[in-house]
Amino acid sequence: MTLEIFAANEQSDHPVAIERWSTLARAVLESEGAAGAVGETEVSLLFVDEPTIASLNERFLEKEGPTDVLAFPIDDEPSPSGRSPDEGGTGPGATEPDDSDLLLLGDVVICPAVAARNAVDHGVTFDDELALLVVHGILHLLGFDHVVDAEAERMEQREQQLLARFHRGAS
Domain range annotation of the chain: 2-168
pLDDT recorded at residue 93 = 46
pLDDT recorded at residue 36 = 56
Buried residues in 16-28 as b, exposed as e (16+ CB within 10 A): beeebbbbbbbbb
Residues 147, 117: Cα–Cα separation, whole Å: 24
Nearest to 124 by CA among 68, 72, 57, 71: 68
Q: Are 141 and 108 in contact (CB under 8 A)?
A: yes
Per-residue pLDDT in tens (0 to 9) along the chain, 171 residues: 688 999 999 999 999 999 999 999 999 999 998 865 556 889 999 999 999 999 999 999 999 999 999 999 986 544 443 343 444 444 444 444 455 566 789 999 999 999 999 999 999 999 999 999 999 999 999 999 988 899 999 999 999 999 999 998 654
Q: How many CB atoms neighbour CB 104 within 10 A?
A: 17
Check if CATH label 3.40.390.30 holds for domain 2-168: yes
pTM: 0.82
pLDDT recorded at residue 38 = 54
Q: Are 28 and 162 in contact (CB under 8 A)?
A: yes
The alpha carbon of residue 159 and the mean position of all alpha carbons in its chain are separated, in whole angstroms, by 14
pLDDT recorded at residue 136 = 97
pLDDT recorded at residue 169 = 66
* Phi–psi pair at 32, nearest 5 degrees: -85, 5
